[in-house]
Amino acid sequence: MTVLQLLGHGDAVSRAVAALLLAMSVASWVAILWKGWLLRAGTRGVMRSIAAFWQAPSLAEAERGLNVFDGPGWVLPTVTALKELAGTWPPSSRDDHPAQRAAPDGPGTLGAAGGRDQRLTRVLRDALHGVLRRLQAGQILLATVGATAPFVGLLGTVWGIRGALAGLSDAGGFTIDRVAGPVGEALVMTAFGLAVALPAVLAYNVFGRVIARIEAELEGFAHDLLGVFGEPRPALAPLPPARPMPVA
């Protein structure tokens, strides 16, 4: 007896549960294949892109180099945001009052207020959050499928057993033919639910580890950018020479 024949013994509820499990399986595998292609380079690609950035002589050259190394576009958004903001503080006006500096938000706006560190932190944070939203895309789907698919399969199992018991009560006697179909359908539903959930859970854990590493690398890179392109820190005043101790 094939799977289709087993499902043929069920009613509309059983077929609806099977259709739901099939839709969950297709959606999870689409997400798995898409994220696998998106994260194919992993942290190695991010580290190569960051190394190419620091070896570039200028922001323009770094941006052009990242178009080659940073295929998925994990590092490029932060560099693009930095390049756009860096154009608003030419070296001749770096020491001007913050209110006199232009900003992407326009002069005289709240976005133009504050020092270079504040504006740089904001644009880097926005760019980083945009990348993280792309990295996290599909994770909720995988987590939902992995958590709910076994229970959907269990619903089909319970409903199939209920149908088997109802058939026995209506027939008034026990025969193996009356029980084999519904019970076989119930077992198929349980196996189907587990088959849908296990790949989704495994992919969610693997992708989560890769995303966490990429996120750590990008946060460290943004911190380095803030330290290099932020407001110059005043040099510490030298300590006064120690006075000789009086001799008794």
* CA dihedral (153, 158, 162, 164) positive or negative: positive
Residue 6 domain-assigned?
Answer: no
SS3 of residue 38 by DSSP: helix
Rounded distance between C-alpha atoms, residue 242 and residue 27, angstroms: 73
Per-residue pLDDT at 112 exceeds 70: no
Domain carrying residue 130:
11-229
Q: Higher confidence at residue 232 or residue 147?
A: 147
Asked if residue 1 is part of any domain, the answer here is: no
Q: For tokens 């269990």, what's the residue? A: 154
pTM above 0.75, yes or no: no
Does residue 30 sit within a domain?
Answer: yes
**Residue 38 to residue 67: CA distance in whole angstroms:** 16
pLDDT band at 27 (very low <50, low <70, confident <90, very high): very high
Rounded alpha-carbon distances, angstroms, from residue 231 to 80, 89, 116, 219: 19, 11, 6, 19
- Give the model's pLDDT for residue 151: 92
| Contact assessment for residue 175 and residue 23, using Cβ atoms and an 8 Å cutoff | no
The total of structural domains in the chain comes to 1
Mean pLDDT across the stretch 22-40?
91
pLDDT tens by residue, 68-89: 777 788 888 888 888 777 655 5
Query: For residues 93 and 90, what is the distance between their CA atoms, to the nearest angstrom?
Result: 6
Residue 246, domain member (yes or no): no
Q: Is the dihedral of CA 107, 108, 109, 113 positive or negative?
A: positive
Q: Is residue 247 part of a domain?
A: no
The answer as to whether 131 is a domain residue is yes
Q: Per residue in 150-206, pLDDT tens? A: 999 888 888 877 777 776 666 555 566 666 666 766 778 888 899 999 999 999 999
Whether 239 is in a domain gets the answer no
User: What are the tens digits of pLDDT across the range 42-59?
Assistant: 778 888 888 888 888 877
First-residue to last-residue Cα distance in the chain: 108
According to the per-residue pLDDT averaged within each range, which of 14-23, 126-135, 143-152 is highest? 143-152
CA dihedral 99, 104, 105, 108 (to 10 degrees): 30
165 or 125: whose pLDDT is higher? Answer: 125
Asked whether residue 220 carries a pLDDT value surpassing 80, the answer given is yes
Average pLDDT along the chain: 76
Residue 121 to residue 82: CA distance in whole angstroms:
10
Yes or no: say if 179 and 164 are a contact pair by the CB < 8 Å rule: yes
